[in-house]
């Protein structure tokens, strides 16, 4: 299968450049595309075969991926991955073999990290939370509700039918895509073949608090019934946020943690506010740039910090 690998980049560039080198020598990868959401110009040490795109503004995760898809002739599949994921040739072969099945639209490998098996997901709770737990590995491919956007193989035909939505900007777009693909008749599978998730990056606290809160409610409003939306909002405002605040008070967390709570509250409020169309995003994204000078994905040259890399390494 002709495969185009896509990395949506933001932050210190070394991990992204390293991943492009690894992907460029793999025989299964035909194109390597980087969308630089931080507007970083092409580094001198990037291989000439790599397509490095500098958009006019930060496009977010889904928007960056969609932008990349329009830069090359439509392949058979896309490999969308974060720059903190490492995979071997055999894992790519195993996932592509599954994706070649007529009814399969999305495939993910089994992720492992330094702690062992990477937390997987079993589905959604009644309040549209995403429970993560250690998934018991099997020796065969399994149908799953969704696979993480940290690494997913997406059949081009599937993505043409149900393209990744742009509105979320960050978080929940992978879950939304898999749900719509399954509803359209495509299978979502996880392979027993493994990939390594280094988890070396860090997501700014405003980003990690704001977008999950907002996008959970947007996701509920998109896919749920009014009663489910009300339940998700009530749980977020009356249970999760107060519990988080109490935990910080009990453990005497630093002021930064209290600020993170404020970001989550802003996200919950925005989650009940105007929601853009699926193929557009709010005009002032990234919204978190309004409240922090180093918001994730801000379209300006980043300040490298030890151990930090792309903001999309958040799955």
Are 41 and 109 in the same domain? yes
With respect to residue 295, please indicate whether it lies within any of the assigned structural domains: no
| Cβ 5 vs Cβ 52: under 8 Å | no
Q: Are residues 173 and 216 in the same domain?
A: no
At residue 193, the pLDDT reads: 94
pLDDT of residue 155: 98
Last residue of a domain, one of 179, 197, 215: 197
Assess if residue 97 is contained within a domain. Answer: yes
Domain's final residue, options 163, 197, 231: 197
10-residue averages of pLDDT along the chain (315 residues): 95 93 95 95 94 96 95 93 93 97 96 75 77 71 91 97 96 95 96 85 74 95 93 90 74 65 91 95 90 43 33 41
Are 173 and 225 in a shared domain?
A: no
Q: For residues 10 and 154, state if they share a domain.
A: yes
- Residue 212 shares a structural domain with residue 166: no
Question: How crowded is the C-beta side of 26, counted as CA atoms within 13 Å?
Answer: 24
What's residue 117's pLDDT? 73
21 shares its domain with 142 = yes
How many Å apart are CA 62 and CA 178, to the nearest integer? 13
Q: For residue 41, what is the domain's CATH number? A: 3.90.550.60
Helix (H, G, I), strand (E, B) or coil at 113: strand
Q: Are residues 258 and 233 in the same domain?
A: yes
DSSP-assigned letters across all residues of the chain: --EEEEEEE-S-SHHHHHHHHHHHT-TTEEEEEEEETT-PPPPTTS-TTSEEE--SS--HHHHHHHHHHTSS---SEEEEE-TTEE--HHHHHHHHHHHTSTTEEEEEEEEEETTEEPEEE----TTS---EEEPPP-SS-EE-S---TTEEEEEHHHHHHSPPPSTTSSSSHHHHHHHHHHHTT-EEEEEEEEEEE-------HHHHHHHHHHHHHHHHHHHS-HHHHHHHHHHIIIIIHHHHHHHHHHTT--HHHHHHHHHHHHHHHHHTS----TT---TT-SGGGGT-TT-TT-SS-----TT---TT---
Let me know whether 33 and 145 are in one domain.
yes
The answer to whether residue 314 sits within a structural domain is: no
Are 128 and 80 part of one and the same domain? yes
What are the Cα distances from residue 33, in Å, to 56, 66, 178, 314?
16, 12, 22, 19
Q: Is residue 33 part of a domain?
A: yes
In a domain, 30, yes or no: yes
Domain interval for residue 223: 205-290
| Residue 180: inside a domain | yes
Pair 80, 215 in one domain: no
| 57 domain residue, yes or no | yes
Number of domains in the chain: 2
Q: Are residues 174 and 236 in the same domain?
A: no
Residue 66 exposure: Cα atoms within 13 Å on the Cβ side:
22
Nearest to 285 by CA among 29, 59, 14, 52: 59
Of 306, 315, 288, give the one whose Cα is nearest residue 11: 306
Q: Is residue 298 part of a domain?
A: no
Domain boundary among 167, 197, 227: 197
pTM of whole model > 0.75? yes
Same domain, 11 and 130: yes
């Amino acid at each position: 299968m002709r495969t185009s690998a896509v990395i949506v980049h933001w932050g210190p560039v070394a991990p992204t450049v390293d991943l492009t080198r690894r992907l460029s020598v793999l025989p299964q990868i035909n194109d390597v595309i980087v969308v630089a959401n931080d507007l970083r110009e092409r580094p001198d040490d990037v291989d000439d075969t790599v397509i490095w795109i500098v958009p006019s503004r930060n496009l977010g995760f889904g928007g960056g991926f969609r932008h990349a898809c329009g830069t090359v002739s439509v392949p058979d599949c896309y490999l969308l991955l974060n720059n903190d994921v490492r995979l071997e040739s055999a894992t790519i072969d195993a996932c592509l073999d599954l994706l070649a099945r007529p009814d399969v639209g999305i495939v993910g490998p089994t992720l492992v990290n330094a702690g062992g098996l990477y937390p997987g997901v079993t589905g959604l709770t009644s309040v549209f939370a995403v429970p993560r737990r250690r998934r018991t590995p099997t020796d065969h491919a399994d149908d799953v509700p969704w696979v993480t956007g940290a690494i997913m193989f997406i059949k081009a035909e599937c993505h043409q039918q149900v393209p990744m939505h742009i509105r979320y900007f960050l978080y929940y777009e992978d879950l939304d895509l898999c749900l719509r693909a399954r509803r359209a008749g495509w299978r979502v599978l996880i392979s027993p073949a493994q990939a390594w998730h280094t988890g070396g990056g860090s997501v700014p606290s405003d980003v990690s608090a704001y977008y999950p809160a907002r996008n959970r409610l947007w996701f509920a409003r998109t896919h749920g019934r009014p009663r489910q939306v009300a339940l998700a909002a009530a749980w977020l405002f009356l249970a999760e946020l107060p519990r988080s605040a109490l935990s910080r008070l009990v453990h005497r967390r630093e002021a930064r943690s209290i600020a993170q709570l404020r970001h989550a509250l802003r996200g919950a409020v925005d989650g009940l506010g105007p929601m853009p169309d699926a193929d557009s995003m709010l005009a002032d994204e990234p919204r978190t740039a309004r409240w922090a000078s180093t918001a994730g994905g801000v379209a300006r040259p980043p300040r490298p910090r030890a151990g930090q890399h792309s903001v999309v390494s958040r799955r």
